[in-house]
Amino acid sequence: MRQSLSGLGAYPLVRPRRLRVDEATRTLVRENSLSVTDLVYPVFIIEGTGKREAIKTMPGIERLSLDQVLKDAERWVDLGLSALNLYPCIDLALKRSDGRESYNPDGLQQRAIRALKENFPQLKLLSDVALDPFTTHGHDGVIDEKGRVLNDESLEILAKQALSHAEAGVDMVAPSDMMDGRTRTLRLALEESGFTDVGIVAYSAKYASKYYGPFRDAIGSSSSLGKKDKRTYQMDPANIEEALREAALDVAEGADIIMVKPGMPYLDVVRRIKDELNVPVFAWQVSGEYAMHMAAIQAGYLPEDTILEALLAFKRAGASAIHTYFAVKVAEMLKHQ
């Protein structure tokens, strides 16, 4: 039973400030904490060697060639980061309307998984499963002549993509495409090929959000997508009951972890899924959220440690882990606290 609010009117018997008198007391009663092991760092990968490209709309974040990823990963591991999610930026010449480069066993994403696993076996690797980096039209699935995104045809290609990641050694595949039935399709494909321990992080509640803009610049899908939007598969920002249905479906189809995306504007969704389904929930502080915080910090409108407060809000809402572009910065900040 929840304690009644009998404290109201009980002053001076009850003084909540007694538990705030000093840092030691505050620490003893603290309900949530942020740790470096709560963070998943998204990494943008490009072809080539010795390459580091700045991303205009995401100050401080770069696209890295694989050798640079391997070099930087030493520092990420030293800082205590334990998980990465990999995003390939594919040369325009390799994009097709069916996104077939997505399951090339020697594609950029597959090579990155192999090289990272070989050099950093302890690092958990998640891989994005969706076709948008690989399609000429920028959609997450394949389309028909009228431009409609085809569900079942897309599933076949997504399953091939997920299998190619599993063969390369990925720990968990993370389908972000929002096609119906993709969790079941991927789970069955993985089971049939003996990848029983490869997990699925299902983006169950992925909203059709304006906050993805900088990411689409980063992977080069915004020019392919043009003025089109993803509202026939990503969710309407107005809905939460639908997010619960999507998450319940994904759990029934074999998802190990449920993802909510974007993050801070959707923490109510994280909490509801956590409370009602009792499964691990990950959340994504997406590119637009990163850009907003960076812009305010660079302008001097907010102090840098506002980032810690923002990420703590995810923990309070019930997220087990948080995808954030601030992961490296936060790992450094937490080390020096």
Choosing from 51, 56, 124, 206, the catalytic residue is 206
Binding to ligand PBG by CB under 6 A, coded x per residue (else -) over 139-168, reads -x----------------------------
Question: Is 57 among the residues that bind ligand PBG (CB under 6 A)?
Answer: no
Whether 301 and 293 have beta carbons less than 8 Å apart is answered as no
Calculate Rg over the CA atoms of the chain: 21
CA atoms of 85 and 129, how far apart (whole Å):
11
Min dist. Cβ of residue 42 to ligand PBG (A): 7
Question: Is 85 among the residues that bind ligand PBG (CB under 6 A)?
Answer: no
Question: Is 101 among the residues that bind ligand PBG (CB under 6 A)?
Answer: no
| Cβ nearer to ligand PBG, comparing 10 with 295 | 295
Question: Is 246 among the residues that bind ligand PBG (CB under 6 A)?
Answer: no
Question: Is 132 among the residues that bind ligand PBG (CB under 6 A)?
Answer: yes
Question: Is 287 among the residues that bind ligand PBG (CB under 6 A)?
Answer: yes
CA atoms of 258 and 282, how far apart (whole Å):
6
Please tell me the count of residues contacting ligand PBG according to CB under 6 A: 11
CA angle 246–247–250, rounded 5-degree value = 90
Binding segment toward ligand PBG, per CB under 6 A, in 5-13, 212-220, 303-311, 314-322: 212-220
Per CB under 6 A, the list member of 103, 195, 212, 314 interacting with ligand PBG is 212
Whether 257 and 228 have beta carbons less than 8 Å apart is answered as no
Question: Is 108 among the residues that bind ligand PBG (CB under 6 A)?
Answer: no
Q: Is 261 a catalytic residue?
A: yes
Question: Is 215 among the residues that bind ligand PBG (CB under 6 A)?
Answer: yes
Choosing from 95, 230, 261, 274, the catalytic residue is 261
Question: Is 286 among the residues that bind ligand PBG (CB under 6 A)?
Answer: yes
Closest residue to ligand PBG in the complex (CB): 215
Question: Is 224 among the residues that bind ligand PBG (CB under 6 A)?
Answer: no
Min dist. Cβ of residue 194 to ligand PBG (A): 27
What residues act catalytically?
206, 261
Residues that bind ligand PBG (CB under 6 A): 128, 130, 132, 140, 176, 212, 215-216, 230, 286-287
